[in-house]
Amino acid sequence: MIEIKNIEKSFGDTKVLKGISAVFETGKTNLIIGQSGSGKTVMIKSLLGIHTPEVGTISFDGRIYSKMTPDEKRTLRTEIGMVFQGSALFDSMTVEENVGFPLKMFTSKRNREIRDRVNEVLQRVNLEGSNKKFPAEISGGMQKRVAIARAIVNNPKYLFCDEPNSGLDPETSIVIDELIHEITKEYDITTVINTHDMNSVLQIGENIIFLKNGKKEWEGDKEEILETRNKSIIEFVYSSDLFKKVRENLLAEEEEEDNK
Amino acid sequence: MIKALNQIGRYFLMIGEVFYKPVKWKVMKTLIFKEIDDLIIGSMGIVAFISFFIGGVVAIQTALNLTNPLIPKSLIAFATRQSVILEFAPTFISIIMAGRAGSYITSSIGTMRVTEQIDALEVMGVNAVNYLIFPKIIAFSLYPFVIAIAMFLGILGGMVAGVYGGFIGQAEFLQGIQTDFIPYHIFYAFFKTFIFGFILATIPSFHGFYMKGGALEVGKASTTSFVWTSVVIILLNYIITQLLLS
Ligand SMILES: Nc1ncnc2c1ncn2[C@@H]1O[C@H](COP(=O)(O)OP(=O)(O)O)[C@@H](O)[C@H]1O
Ligand SMILES: [Mg+2]
């Protein structure tokens, strides 16, 4: 479980996060949603320690980040997996070198053990037979799978994904969402996902926080988000014409029923 | 001005971090060999080509300006040796390297920055500064070998141009390059080469590592990095020469 209390983060004069508190539960896919520029990436990078919030605390299963010693922070890092928005695979390494990288850097495993573990996770993300390819030689969806494999290779307790399906077609997006969801359950990981994609929200939104103008505007799950009367949520959820029409129809039906 | 001081401060902080919390030797070893291949071996062709022809031109220029019959022809060889060893090889080639290896360093590290590969390293707990820049510094510790080859080829180019251009006999040239040889000059040349090698590894890395933006900015960062690397080399060349030779 990750618990954040009242975190604030500014860049120069602009405050991006204005006092956010939230709890991300273990074994669940926790979603941070909001429009582009609402601070989702800054939020996740604050959790990762890439950005340091000026105010507030972040605790990982009770361990408060700002009070950890450098050694404890190093240990924490090995418990974290991260899938970046653009996958962030190392261009100069093959698929298997990318996935094996955290093991090679931080464990004393032998090359053979590393190779076995790499093959195991590549199999888990349904990506076999591309071991020797370079990231530039595979599709965006495959790159995402490699990024997920790299993030989970060292059995993380915490998994962060920044817009895991940006740049993917709707079908592949769903496959990736489901994959992250299954892995979260299977290994009982605390997973935090940034997204602005309503498909993902409805697919895997077990615990959702909605950011607007640097504040937490709403919180709930995928059932609740469709029923809420919160105006900003409605605007966000029904921003596409398709959803607008669906909502109009639903409301019309409701009215008919009320009139009966 | 404050911005410039800030940049200089960050540069030195970065240098400090390069040597802090290094990655495993097993991993570092491979990285070093790769950088030697890319930065040192990969630059040999252009360095050899330029040295040879610049050496040739220096010999011809000296010969053409030598109109007084009282001055011995061997001066052509002497002048070629002095200019190649003292300036053309260490300084001129370093400026070429700022373009060749420097832009490569800035754009490759800059691309890693904009595609979040550096963030990925840091999230894993890798000291990205050490991982990316230390192997380049070590690769550039071989830079004096590159310059030694440049010196040899420069003088060879001078001899070929001098002899085949009919300006000087081969025996006279060989005798000329041995006159008034001062070993201290070799120390001076290699001392500054060593410093320039460090500059060539670190300033382009700095510009790539701390860049912001996207692909377009990577191109801009490479250009800025070339300008600053050249300016620093030229200024240090002046300072070192003032300190060591006068
Ligand atoms: N490193 C940074 N320096 C300055 N401003 C930043 C930085 N990172 C993000 N921002 C600003 O913070 C705001 C939120 O950005 P971001 O978290 O990337 O949004 P999202 O991921 O929700 O699309 C934006 O206005 C952005 O310009
Ligand atoms: Mg983002």
Domain boundaries, chain A: 2-79+156-259
**Are the Cβ atoms of A90 and B24 closer than 8 angstroms?**
no
Interval between CA A182 and ligand 1 midpoint (Å): 30
How confident is the model at residue A254, as a pLDDT? 78
**Are the Cβ atoms of A105 and B123 closer than 8 angstroms?**
no
Residue nearest to atom 7 of ligand 1 (CA): A11
Interval between CA B197 and ligand 2 midpoint (Å): 39
> Residue B207: is its pLDDT beyond 80?
yes
With b for 16 or more beta-carbon neighbours within 10 A and e for fewer, the A197-229 pattern comes to bbebbebbbebbbbbbebebbbebebeebeeee
Tokens of B23: 């990655």
For residue A208, the distance in angstroms to the closest alpha carbon of chain B comes to 24
A158-162 and A55-60 beta bridge pairing: unpaired
CA–CA dist A47, A233 (Å, integer): 24
Q: How does pLDDT run across B74-100, given as a tens digit for each residue?
A: 899 999 999 999 999 999 999 999 999
Assign B213 a pLDDT band (cuts: 50, 70, 90).
very high
How confident is the model at residue A9, as a pLDDT? 96
**Are the Cβ atoms of B116 and A85 closer than 8 angstroms?**
yes
Assign A148 a pLDDT band (cuts: 50, 70, 90).
very high
How confident is the model at residue B34, as a pLDDT? 96
Range(s) of the domain holding residue B160: 24-245
Is B3 part of any domain?
no
How confident is the model at residue A239, as a pLDDT? 79
> Residue A180: is its pLDDT beyond 90?
yes
ipTM of this complex: 0.88
A68 touches chain B (CB under 8 A): no
> Residue B71: is its pLDDT beyond 90?
no
On chain B, the residues whose CB falls within 8 A of the CB of A74 are 125
Q: How does pLDDT run across A47-56, given as a tens digit for each residue?
A: 998 899 999 9
Is B115 part of any domain?
yes
What is the reported pTM? 0.89
CA–CA dist A244, B156 (Å, integer): 79
Nearest to A170, CA basis, from A205, A138, A200: A200
Number of domains in chain B: 1
Ligand 1, closest atom to CA A39? 17
- CATH assignment, A2-79+156-259: 3.40.50.300
Of B24, B112, B117, the CB nearest to A105: B24
Q: Which of A242-246, B69-73, B230-234 has the lowest mean pLDDT?
A: A242-246
Q: How does pLDDT run across A58-75, given as a tens digit for each residue?
A: 999 999 999 999 889 989
How confident is the model at residue B143, as a pLDDT? 96
B30, B116, B130: best mutation site toward chain A, by most A Cβ within 10 Å? Answer: B116
CA–CA dist B108, B218 (Å, integer): 9
Assign A147 a pLDDT band (cuts: 50, 70, 90).
very high
Is B13 part of any domain?
no
Helix pair A95-106, A111-124: axis angle to 10 deg: 130
- What does pLDDT average to over chain B? 94
